[in-house]
Amino acid sequence: MTTTTNDFGELGERIAARWLERSGYRVLARRFRAGRRDIDLVVEREGLIAFVEVKARAGEAFGDPVEAVHRRKQRSLWRSAQAWIGRHGRSGETYRFDVVGVLVRDRRVFVRHVAAAFDSPVA
């Protein structure tokens, strides 16, 4: 991944975090790492923990950013979420997987939050 791509990804994560905070979520972790895997954002609202994958695009040439979270990425997120729960989870919490797509087009930013975007994948 190039520095420019990485910087754009970080910008997308900051935009997504700000959008989620304005929607009532509290950011618990950014770029949580579990080995080589990571979770872009871990957020909480009313006892619900969402593991959030953020996909940012500078245009629509590669399709909708939300659709870029394929099965392999879902399995990776699930494994990372298991590590997060093992370290930080508390009884009574509910967990889900969300995807936030950030599309930057013509100096405008579009955010699409898909709550419960996928279920826990089968390994």
Q: How confident is the model at residue 3 (pLDDT cuts 50, 70, 90)?
A: low
For residue 86, give its domain range.
3-118
**Whose CA is closest to 68, among 103, 34, 96, 95?**
103
- Four-residue CA torsion sign, 23, 13, 28, 40: positive
Is the pLDDT confidence value at 120 over 80? no
CB 118 within 8 A of CB 97: yes
Is the pLDDT at 63 greater than 90? The verdict is: no
- pLDDT of 23 reads 97
Residue 110 lies in a domain: yes
Query: Can you state the percent helix, strand and coil of the chain, rounding each to 5?
Result: 35, 40, 25
| Residue 13 domain-assigned (yes or no) | yes
Please give the tally of structural domains in the chain. 1
pLDDT at 66 over 80: no
114 within some domain = yes
Confidence at residue 31, expressed as pLDDT on a 0 to 100 scale:
94
Q: Kindly state whether residue 14 falls inside one of the protein's structural domains.
A: yes
pTM: 0.89
Q: Is residue 49 part of a domain?
A: yes
Domain containing residue 107: CATH number: 3.40.1350.10
| 72-100 per-position pLDDT tens digit | 889 999 999 999 999 999 888 899 999 99
Of 81 and 105, the one with more pLDDT: 81
